[in-house]
Amino acid sequence: MKFETRAIRIGEEPDMENGSGDVVIPIHLSTTFARRSIERLPKGYEYSRTGNPTRHALERKLASLEDAKFGLAFSSGMAAETTILLALLKKGEHVIAFDDLYGGTKRLFRTFGKRFGIEFEYVDARYAENVRSAIRENTKLIWLETPTNPLMKMCDIGEISEMAHENGIIVAVDNTFATPYFQRPLGLGADIVVHSTTKYINGHSDSVGGAIMLSDEEIYEELKFHQNSSGAILSPFDSYMTLRGIKTLALRMREHERNAMRIAGFLESHPKVNRVYYPGLDSHPQHGLAKKQMHGFGGMISFEINGTVEDAVRFTESLQLFSLAESLGGVESLIEIPALMTHSSVPEEERERIGISDTLIRMSVGIENVEDLIEDIEGGLKRL
């Protein structure tokens, strides 16, 4: 079954024997489920924190999208990340992470490390040898984003996973930017895939959620235990909203990419833009790797304007079709300044070391008419 078909059909097969033949999975709002006897649970459900039919349908669909055996749906992407840390790490262990990560992830790592005595070490994972050099006897986890947020750096998932497994280390990949439509880390060797489903998976900026997909049953059981214990679950209504959004994922991602390619090319040729970060451009230093491990390049672009931070603020505030807002991956176009918004919690010296300048702008390209979007950007650049 091809991706587009799975995105629509898996988890929502009409129940013609015991149900009413719903083509769309119902929203099961019940918090608890009655049983005829102590031993027999109706269809395996007892309490909605532990398991819910609507959430279960979503988790089946999520697993299918990433070619995984198991899926877990969480109340947010950060809840998913926190569950991984709680389930898999203990005091004295060591984690290697890409140096360019979402600011909220870094904030979580700092807090978690200080409180629980776990060391997080950041390396430039564009070069796999940097990861290899950082491995210690107590290294338990390697955490990757590719492409990264916000600098669109790439790392070789296959090469890093191979060296990790040689040393008994788990590899987790945040696949939010690429989505399973354009990249499937498990097939490249990773152990765990993480998503903020708030973004492209849902795609309509109306539901906050997170997901973990994996095929290792032992790790899955550990994660599910901690999810249930902490209550970090996605609600039935948000599960339904995410199920609905997924059905158009393939269509949306094709449009996001098509618009992003046009806009990236326009920005690269504009005299008021110093540099464009987009893996679909030949000028991207890892364009070859992007073509090797991705099936497309996504809808996220970052670029540096030729000016000051005040110019960057004036530009973003002047646009009409790009909403000045955090988040990404919705059908509408969004724009933000990482140093002042999504990555403001990252210390300034760390941002400078990684390459996040004050004039870096991150753009989530929507699926509006691309000519309208380019006209809006052009107008904003003319005002500088």
* Active site members: 49, 102, 174, 199
Residues 6+ positions from 212 with CB-CB distance below 8 Å: 71, 72, 74, 80, 83, 84, 192, 193, 194, 195, 223
What separation in angstroms does the CA of 94 have from each of 110, 120, 138?
Answer: 13, 6, 6
364 has which bridge partners?
300, 334
Cβ atoms 140, 93 nearer than 8 A: yes
Q: How far apart are CA 279 and CA 285, in angstroms?
A: 8
CA dihedral of 267, 270, 273, 279, whole degrees rounded to 10: 30
260, containing H or E segment: helix 249-268
Q: How far apart are CA 125 and CA 107, in angstroms?
A: 19
Cβ atoms 73, 209 nearer than 8 A: yes
What separation in angstroms does the CA of 354 have from each of 99, 113, 148, 343?
Answer: 7, 20, 11, 12
Cis previous bond, 150, omega within 30 = yes
Cβ atoms 164, 173 nearer than 8 A: no
Name residue 316's amino acid. Answer: T
Tokens of 91: 């005091």
Cis previous bond, 53, omega within 30 = no
192, containing H or E segment: strand 192-195
Cβ atoms 152, 302 nearer than 8 A: yes
Q: Which residue has the tokens 């904003």?
A: 380
What is the SS3 string spanning 85-102?
HHHHCCCCCEEEEECCCC
